[in-house]
A and B are shown apart, each in its own frame.
Chain A
């Protein structure tokens, strides 16, 4: 812990692993970090594959570093549901920072359970926050609602599109488009950029609400670093607007509630299955359901009650402290 707080990259890398692996030691580690978390500005970056998210993060990182701010990045990519493997290539496009100790990039695979991913990714951001990063960026591919939610667990969410994103946007606009605080049409030097910008703006007008923050639609050419300053200005403007309206506090409160609820569920789930009696009871319950002697939810409720009794006998759920 000391080594993490002293800024040792090795320690930060290790701590993120034990969070990612959902190891029991993480409770103590996250507990020790708690007082150090909350200082970093968190940016979510999401959008369809190929829109240029990593390249844009690279360009934003360059600008933030030039302004003297340290940067942490958590880049999430999908795990293959068939093999459990993952090819995490985002940092190839973020490699510019190379040896700069002010930039810490961590690639994370979704590893199946997306609910678990949301927690692991958010906690990895906590680690980088405690590690002293001024800005923590979380990048996800905006293809599924859960992945969009991950990027939304930020103070400001950027949705990055490209002129080629038209059809993809149609397909996924519900979750993705509503998540945005700032829209970026990247690769804006390509044909179709104007149409893309117009399409997004039209969609925004359809649901414009007075008084609330209206997401700007910006253009960039990340590869050339064009439009990056304007994006960072929009992020800062969004932050001021949120602060004025109390939106930032509300947002963080909402996130805290969601995380607490998830943590309660996680602790219970782990405690239930860590009890050898539960595994045994599960087999018995399955037999009863299969033979028609019990229905599924009845058997499940019975299992839960029997665990509660055993846990009470032991002085309560043992884990998570």
Chain B
């Protein structure tokens, strides 16, 4: 019997940024919401993040950025995802960033971003909705693209 596949999420912190409390709290919350969370840890480059996403075949990548590198890290990660055939993966996350930056990233194709004080349930719900919408729109993931 094919059981419903849990949503797989990569939670990671890019670059020189050691403030991982937020990422850990988010990772636990997503797990408690029934998702499989791959915790990628600290100090990852966009290249490493995309490599992990590829190997782990995640639906969603959540990046936590507290060091004001988001205008570099998010676009670069998005670019690599598209280059390597992972354009169907949701790139989302949060951290310290202005509303203008969030909008600019959104126009590039980054998903919703969550600033300080955001509601955890809203983040969980956002990921769920996104995955449901995509499942309706496509054949459903996990199918082998070449088999």
Contact = CB atoms under 8 A, between A and B. Distances in A.
Interface of A: 1-4, 9-18, 20-25, 28-29, 32, 79-80, 83-89, 91-92, 95, 98-99, 104-107, 109, 111, 269-270, 273-274
Interface stretch (B23-31, B61-69, B105-113): B23-31
B59 to A, nearest CB: 10
Contact of A83 (B31, B41, B86, B147): B31
B147 A29 contact: yes
B146 to A, nearest CB: 5
Contact of B56 (A4, A107, A274): A107
Interface residues of B, number: 39
Given A25-B147, A85-B33, A91 B38 contact: yes
Contact of B147 (A1, A20, A91): A1
Nearest to A6: B146
B36 interface: yes
B142 interface: yes
B137 to A, nearest CB: 18
Interface stretch (B45-53, B94-102, B127-135): B45-53
Given A14-B57, A17-B57, A107-B38, A22 B31 contact: no
A88 B34 contact: no
A25 B146 CA distance: 11
Nearest to B8: A17
A25 B34 contact: no
Contacts of B45: 98-99
B145 A14 contact: yes
Contact of A9 (B30, B40, B55, B147): B55
Nearest to B47: A99
Contacts of A11: 144-146
A13 B57 contact: yes
A85 B41 contact: no
Contact of B36 (A15, A24, A109): A109
22 contacts: A1-B147, A2-B146, A4-B146, A11-B146, A14-B143, A17-B57, A18-B147, A21-B5, A25-B144, A25-B147, A79-B36, A80-B31, A84-B34, A85-B31, A85-B34, A87-B31, A87-B37, A88-B37, A95-B40, A98-B51, A107-B36, A109-B6
Q: Which of B27, B35, B142 has the most CB of A within 10 A?
A: B142
A10 B41 CA distance: 21
A14 B142 contact: yes
B1 interface: yes
Q: Which of B48, B57, B141 has the most CB of A within 10 A?
A: B57
B54 interface: yes
B32 interface: yes
